[in-house]
């Protein structure tokens, strides 16, 4: 894969009006400095602020820039999916995925590209330092390590969506019919030669993160339940262990009955057992529910996103 001429930079945007001018400035510079032909594809994920208007105003007439406008907010993963599917119809040899808040410095493209030229198909960024708050940093650390343990595929630690991937990887990812899209997981699942590059994740300059703690949990759940059967095995193991315990306890009780003739005692133990095992049962139902819900949404086969309008190479195009 040494002949990479055309690169598309994919940038999802949700309520990023305050940073967009700066973003385009930095991308312009990158386009000027690159030997390769760089195109930018923005995906406006149903922003409620002025992002869409500012986008139109600032990219119209600029040949290197395109944009998709989704009909509502579909979420980060869906926005990226929309972008990946759109690039399938272009001549892009590779796709560079970055965040629209400039936390992933676009200027790192040359070093990512270097790796790609060495024969890798996926080059992802590894976050060396995080500049988020302490609590969020801890949560991230735990989450990535849990996921690493849990998932049946080998997902790299501290790697997000920031990556440069070749056309064939884009094609494969687009062919995956999953409704619940965990992009970094799908990217790992694909295989081929993958490599990580360490980088400093910058602070968000404008606006706020769209991932609050709840959204992060959702993301983490996708990472675990979309790629692992371990939670189900946990249920089976807990079931077997509790059956074992109850058999032992039954044995002791029968023995006591036969030898001493006494049995009724241990009210606390009884309550304890009831509370513990009803908890375990609810948890188990919840775990099964996680898988069922995913099946439920998958069988509906709804489209993953709806494109309301497009700007292609600086010119407005039909839906
Ligand atoms: N984003 C999006 N749709 C959403 C939420 C976020 O397109 O529903 C975009 C957002 O504009 C940004 C990127 O996804 O460009 C990453 O989001 P954010 O910076 O909030 O995440 P964090 O950096 O905190 O993980
Ligand atoms: Mg961010």
Confidence of residue 120 (pLDDT cuts 50, 70, 90): very high
Quick check: CB of 12 below 6 Å from ligand 1?
yes
User: Could you give the C-alpha distances from 25 to 37, 107, 174, in angstroms and in order?
Assistant: 17, 12, 30
How many percent of the chain have pLDDT more than 90?
Answer: 46
Instruction: Average the pLDDT over 185-199 and give the result.
Output: 91
Q: Measured on CA atoms in the order 54, 59, 61, 67, is the torsion positive or negative?
A: negative
For atom 2 of ligand 1, the residue with the nearest CA is 76
Regarding predicted confidence, which is higher, 151 or 105?
105
**What is the CA(104)–ligand 1 centre distance, in A?**
11
Q: Which pLDDT does position 3 carry in this prediction? A: 85
Residue 191, CB half-sphere, CA atoms under 13 Å: how many? 1
- Tell me the pTM: 0.79
Query: Of 119, 140, 106, nearest to 219 (Cα)?
Result: 140
Task: Please list, residue by residue across 5-40, b when 16 or more beta carbons sit within 10 angstroms of its beta carbon and e when fewer do.
Answer: eebbbbbbbbbbbbbbeebbeebeebbeeeeeebbb
How many percent of the chain have pLDDT more than 70?
Answer: 96
- Whether the per-residue pLDDT at 199 is higher than 70: the answer is yes
Mean pLDDT (the chain) is: 87
Q: Which pLDDT does position 156 carry in this prediction? A: 75
Q: Which pLDDT does position 196 carry in this prediction? A: 92
- Whether the per-residue pLDDT at 83 is higher than 90: the answer is yes
Confidence of residue 213 (pLDDT cuts 50, 70, 90): confident
- Whether the per-residue pLDDT at 77 is higher than 90: the answer is yes
pLDDT digits (tens, 9 = 90+) for 12-68: 999 999 899 999 999 999 999 999 999 999 999 999 999 999 999 999 999 999 999
User: Coil, strand or helix: which one is 178?
Assistant: coil
**What is the CA(274)–ligand 2 centre distance, in A?**
45
Instruction: Average the pLDDT over 257-279 and give the result.
Output: 77
Q: Which pLDDT does position 265 carry in this prediction? A: 66
DSSP state of 265: -
User: Could you give the C-alpha distances from 244 to 3, 147, 158, 249, 285, in angstroms and in order?
Assistant: 62, 30, 39, 9, 21
Q: Which pLDDT does position 200 carry in this prediction? A: 86
User: Phi/psi class of residue 269: alpha, beta or left (left: φ > 0; alpha: ψ in -120 to 50)?
Assistant: alpha
- Whether the per-residue pLDDT at 171 is higher than 80: the answer is yes
**What is the CA(230)–ligand 2 centre distance, in A?**
30
Confidence of residue 127 (pLDDT cuts 50, 70, 90): confident
Q: Which pLDDT does position 319 carry in this prediction? A: 58
Q: Which pLDDT does position 152 carry in this prediction? A: 65
User: Coil, strand or helix: which one is 192?
Assistant: coil
Query: How far from each other are the two terminal CA atoms of the chain, in whole angstroms?
Result: 33
Quick check: CB of 161 below 6 Å from ligand 1?
no
Q: Which pLDDT does position 22 carry in this prediction? A: 92
DSSP letter string, 269-299: HHHHHHHHHHHHHHHHHHHHHHHHHHHHHHH
- Whether the per-residue pLDDT at 1 is higher than 50: the answer is no
Quick check: CB of 211 below 6 Å from ligand 1?
yes
Q: Are 124 and 154 in contact (CB under 8 A)?
A: no
**What is the CA(103)–ligand 2 centre distance, in A?**
6
Structure tokens at 95: 């796709």
For atom 22 of ligand 1, the residue with the nearest CA is 209
- Ligand 1, from 12, 201, 203: best to mutate by most atoms within 8 Å of Cβ? 12
DSSP state of 156: P
Confidence of residue 165 (pLDDT cuts 50, 70, 90): very high
């Amino acid at each position: 894969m040494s002949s990479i001429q055309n690169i598309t930079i994919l940038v999802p945007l949700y309520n990023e009006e305050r940073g967009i001018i700066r973003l385009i400035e930095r991308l312009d510079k990158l386009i000027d400095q690159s030997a390769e032909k760089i195109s930018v594809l923005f995906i406006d994920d149903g922003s409620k602020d002025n992002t869409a208007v500012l986008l139109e105003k600032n990219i119209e007439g600029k040949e290197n820039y395109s944009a998709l406008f989704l009909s509502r907010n579909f979420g980060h993963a869906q926005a990226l999916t929309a972008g990946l599917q759109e690039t399938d119809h272009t001549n892009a040899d590779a796709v560079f995925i970055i965040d629209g808040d400039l936390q992933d410095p676009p200027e790192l493209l040359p070093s990512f590209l270097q790796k790609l030229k060495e024969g890798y198909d996926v080059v992802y960024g590894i976050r060396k330092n995080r500049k988020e708050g302490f609590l969020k940093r801890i949560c991230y650390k735990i989450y990535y390590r849990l996921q690493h343990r849990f998932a049946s595929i080998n997902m790299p630690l501290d790697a997000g969506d920031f990556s440069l991937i070749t056309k064939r990887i884009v094609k494969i990812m687009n062919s995956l019919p999953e409704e619940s899209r965990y992009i970094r997981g799908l990217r790992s699942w694909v295989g081929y030669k993958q490599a990580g590059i360490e980088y400093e994740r910058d602070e968000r300059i404008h606006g706020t993160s769209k991932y609050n703690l709840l959204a992060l949990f959702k993301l983490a759940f996708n990472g675990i339940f979309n790629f692992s059967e371990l939670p189900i095995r946990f249920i089976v193991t807990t079931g077997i262990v509790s059956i074992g315990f109850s058999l032992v306890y039954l044995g002791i009780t029968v023995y006591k009955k036969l030898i001493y003739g006494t049995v009724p005692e241990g009210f606390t133990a009884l309550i304890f057992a009831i509370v513990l095992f009803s908890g375990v049962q609810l948890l188990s139902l919840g775990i099964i529910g996680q898988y069922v819900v995913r099946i439920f949404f998958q069988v509906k086969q709804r489209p993953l996103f709806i494109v309301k309008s497009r700007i292609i190479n600086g010119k407005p195009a039909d839906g």
